């Protein structure tokens, strides 16, 4: 039981950044904006969170700084695509490349330093439950935030008036504009929310997953988060399930090597990305379901009537 508990704890730690980043991108895409810069925003959040923690000694300040850094970095994408109506795909790719470069510059003075880890928060009584207590009720702040985000985003999208407006913009921005909904303002807010979530996911990488700064430590997780949104059919609860599935796949390589299984480590390291490709291939076969769930205005520019 102890070994199973240890494995599940590592799966939770590996899945949390995927869930958070995917939830942010889900809200962004529900508003009709395709932001491929999740990887760049994640690594910026990781660098800024680690730097802020080193300067202040408080990982909680680092978490806030990571969120703010991701949100501010996403504003660049918003300005280029929503105000200047630049191509969203090209701008997202450029944002990723820019984020990888700038984060390396920010994190260079902190390379090799030991970080300050975000400590678990034990919930009284619940944390003492055998097996489930350490797994679910003795976790760090970011894990609890990830669960709250799933619940909150699901309620916001499907039970609130503001969520209905956001989904209306994603499905048909012209009709939403004709009804008096502020399309550009809503999309700016959605893009900033997605950036904040990506920054929080990056903060988890440098403050919880591996409490240190390593250049390109996001290691493609932003791309997996993008695939996870499609895998979940733009549904928050499916993002949670898919995030833990992908987290289990990504962490399996470490345990397989620890158990001495005779599989080349290069193949094991590629498993999360192989799983991503396989999932996308399987999803693409059912085009009807994909088209029904995909926001109709996703990736399409909007220029309001002057």
Give the domains, in start order, of the chain with CATH numbers.
Answer: 2-293 (1.10.3470)
Q: Which residue has the tokens 């390291």?
A: 269
Cα separation values, 82 from 78, 197, 299, Å: 5, 20, 11
* 139 φ/ψ sector (left φ>0, alpha ψ -120 to 50, else beta): beta
pLDDT digits (tens, 9 = 90+) for 61-115: 999 999 999 999 999 999 999 999 999 999 999 999 999 999 999 999 998 888 8
249-288 b/e (C-beta count within 10 Å ≥ 16 → b): bbbbbebbeeeeeeeeeeebeebbbebbeebeeeeeeeee
| 89 or 268, higher pLDDT | 89
Is the pLDDT score of 255 beyond 70?
Answer: no
User: Model-level pTM?
Assistant: 0.92
* Percentage of the chain lying above the pLDDT 90 cut: 66
Angle between helices 141-159 and 59-78 (to 10 degrees): 40
pLDDT digits (tens, 9 = 90+) for 107-124: 999 988 888 899 999 998
Q: What is the mean pLDDT of residues 157-183?
A: 94
Q: Are 198 and 87 in contact (CB under 8 A)?
A: no
Question: What is the model's pLDDT at position 84?
Answer: 94
Is the pLDDT score of 259 beyond 70?
Answer: no
Question: What is the model's pLDDT at position 192?
Answer: 97
Q: Which range among 121-130, 189-198, 265-274, 294-303 shows the weakest confidence by mean pLDDT?
A: 265-274
Q: Which two tokens mark 223?
A: 């791309």
Q: What is the mean pLDDT of residues 46-60?
A: 95
Q: Which two tokens mark 65?
A: 């700084």
Q: What is the mean pLDDT of residues 259-288?
A: 71
């Amino acid at each position: 039981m102890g070994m199973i508990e240890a494995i599940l704890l590592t799966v939770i730690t590996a899945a949390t950044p995927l869930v958070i980043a995917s939830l942010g991108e889900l809200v962004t895409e529900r508003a009709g904006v395709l932001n491929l810069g999740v990887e760049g925003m994640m690594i910026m959040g990781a660098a800024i969170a680690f730097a802020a923690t080193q300067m202040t000694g408080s990982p909680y300040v680092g978490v806030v700084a990571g969120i703010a850094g991701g949100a501010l970095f996403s504003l660049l994408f918003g300005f280029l695509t929503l105000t200047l109506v630049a191509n969203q795909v090209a701008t997202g790719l450029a944002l990723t490349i820019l984020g990888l470069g700038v984060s390396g510059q920010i994190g260079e003075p902190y390379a090799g330093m030991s970080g300050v880890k975000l400590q678990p928060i034990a919930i009284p009584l619940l944390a003492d439950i055998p097996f489930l207590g350490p797994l679910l009720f003795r976790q760090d702040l970011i894990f609890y935030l990830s669960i709250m985000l799933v619940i909150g985003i699901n309620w916001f999208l499907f039970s609130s008036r503001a969520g209905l407006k956001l989904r209306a913009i994603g499905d048909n921005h012209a009709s939403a504009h004709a009804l008096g909904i502020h399309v550009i303002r809503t999309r700016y807010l959605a893009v900033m929310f997605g950036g904040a979530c990506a920054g929080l996911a990056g903060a988890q990488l440098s403050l919880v997953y591996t409490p240190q700064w390593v250049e390109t430590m996001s290691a493609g997780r932003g791309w997996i988060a993008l695939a996870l949104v499609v895998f979940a059919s733009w549904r928050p609860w499916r993002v949670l399930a898919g995030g833990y599935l992908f987290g289990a796949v990504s962490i399996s390589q470490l345990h397989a090597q620890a158990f001495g299984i005779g599989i080349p480590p290069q193949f094991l390291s590629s498993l999360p990305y192989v799983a991503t490709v396989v999932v996308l291939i399987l999803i693409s076969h059912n085009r009807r379901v994909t088209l029904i769930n995909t926001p109709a205005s996703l990736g399409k520019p909007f220029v309001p009537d002057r």
